[in-house]
Structure 1
Amino acid sequence: MFKDSAMPSGTLLHQITDYASRADPYPLYAELRRTPVSRQDDGVYAVSTYWEIVSLLRDPRLSSDARNRAAQPGEVLPPEEDTTLPPSFLRLDPPEHDRLRRLATRPFGPPHCPRRVHDMGGELARMVSGLVDGFQGRDRVDIVEDFAYPFPVMVICKLLGVPHQDEALFHGWAETIVAALDPNPAEGPAERQRVAQQARSELGAYLAGLISEHRRAPGDDMLSALVTDHGPDGLMSPVEVITTAVLLLIAGHETTVNLITNGMLTLLRHPEALKRLRADPDLAVPLVEELLRYEPPVQLLPQRTALADIDIAGTVIPAGAPIWLVLASGNRDPRRFRDPDRFDPLRRDNEHLGFGNGIHYCFGAPLARLEAQLALTELARRLEDPRLVEDPPPYRQNPVLRGPRHLPVAFGGLAAQR
């Protein structure tokens, strides 16, 4: 039987990842920050303060490749991640990571496609308005099911060239793969990994079929570009296109669902900020940045490994040791942010960790920002007298991608479109 290295009884990390703490892990983060780099009972090194997290995210001695992980004393590592699909570039180190990331970003943003996200703005605004129009005649909605989930899915399908009508097909695969990020699985790490491998293989097979169609008849979408664009790095191999497509499809909507949902929950808990956003749509830009600091959709990065001994904050992390970077804790570090537990939409100097840092900084950040800005502005303007039905709402099981599973909101009416 595999020992789950992420379930040390009684440690702070165990308390943080326990579902009982999901609604409010921040007091535990404050306690964790008392020791910026702390070794847990299972050998995991938890890094919880801002400058130490940034330093490690920029340190070439920190690996994202699970193949560099060494077993801890008394621990048996589960089998390798997958035998059919190799890791995506998110789970690789330079130079493999750098080449694949360059190829993935060419059809998405600068310098090769500088207007890709900008030119989607009008269509995204129409999607948002259409979803809110669907609230007509109702006095209560689930922000997750009725808005925050369908909107990013529509966007990523349009961007990649995936038929939106296939959402019901890939939804289950995506949920299974994301659930594997949970460091405290109820079914045990070996079974969790087996199920996730199967889901990833099935999603990969589905996308392989789509990729073949795009290769035969390319369109103005990212899958077509990935199989036809001849840049300085050449073309991705067929299996690299598949693993990249799996990553983009899942990462392109899962975190944005949480960003929008956490954002609406925060606004409803801070009615003055909601009122200000309703009156001034330009507030959406700094407000979303503050949301990414205050309630980030990605709370922690539990899959990092030291490639060499790393001396940081007076602690030596030995080569091969597992490292957890607690991003959400760093975002509330009082050494970096003034009054960090206060939600301040006009906060200045807000260089948060909501999108990570270093070579793995989220290259989808411009799109996620735009989606959240449009979504929250439209909800603030059109929902009349919105109020939470349940606080705290029920949360998703996953402590890594933290957000409400449902967010029921009652409202008095619906303002017309502009």
Structure 2
Amino acid sequence: MAWNEPGGNGNNQDPWGGRRNNGGDRKGPPDLDEAFRKLQESLNGLFGGNKNRGNDNDSGGSKGGGGFGLLLGGLAVLAAIWLYSAIYVVDEQEQAVVLRFGKYYETVGPGLNIYFPPIDRKFQENVTRERAYSKQGQMLTEDENIIEVPLTVQYKISNLQDFVLNVDQPEISLQHATDSAVRHVVGSTEMDQVLTEGRELMASEVKERLQRFLDTYKTGIVVTTVNLQSAAAPREVQEAFDDVIRAREDEQREKNKAETYANGVVPEARGQAQRLIEDASGYRDEVVSRAQGEADRFTALVAEYRKAPEVTRERLYLDTMQEVMSNTSKVMVTGDKGQNNLLYLPLDKMIDGRSGAAASSISGSSNDASTSSVRPPQMPEVRTRESR
């Protein structure tokens, strides 16, 4: 059933929203101008426009004033948004670089600042905080061994202008420069130094070379510390490397034992050699002094002999017999009264005993001092009174 047929529901409601009044008349389609006018009045009320309506002429003036107010409101909103984005605060640990029309304009310190986008561009960074970059990779040493070297680089921004303008992605450039510096240092170092006590020296060399690269690129980055952690062999050959390290430790241990033994034996041998040298020197001085004394005694004896030959010979004879008899056993044979006593001297035993004593003396001296020997003193000629 159509909305406008008699008896239909459309008698009271049409699709355009018109209602029949009590008199049976209905309104026409809604006025679009009236809807826009009500919307404009609402906006004018929001931004301070005139809400009162007068006659038709006043309605036309309200429409013109409402459009101008809407424009002012939009401009105010845009200005507020621009001002909110243009004002910024730089902390004590930060700096900001401002570019105007793409060209460096100024470096801003801590405080409240303003710039003018889109004419200006701002780059704000913390320049006091230390940043860290870690890396690990397989590298080839000087003796052609592959090892894994983990390291950590600590750095900070020293010049924000260079950091922003000179290099695109300066931290990526830092990673590439670190890789180049580490490979150069490890490639010129043997594996033993990399795995053991050479890491500190390598870290200083890597830091120096890396800083030289960054200064050449003018990245505005300063390297504070390079930490080379414990290097290790790749997992595929770790067992073989462990065997090599154990063998090297065994070699060093055996060397230490040999050095310890040498440090104990060599000084002892040197001491014994010095003792033998001192004993030989003493023996030599003794023999020379004794010979010199004998020569001096003989010289003095010659002088006395020339003065009194008979007396001197007698005295020599008595002294010699006294020396011989005092060190030799004697047998006295006595006879009857009126017979001469016979003194028996075992000359053969005396000679054998004197020879044995001299041989033992020479043997003892050769064992303690040197192999030099001294001829045994000759027996003095024993002469009887009849032979004289």
TM-score, scaled to structure 1: 0.21
Higher-helix-fraction structure: 2
Q: Which has the larger radius of gyration?
A: 2
Higher-strand-fraction structure: 2
TM-score, scaled to structure 2: 0.22
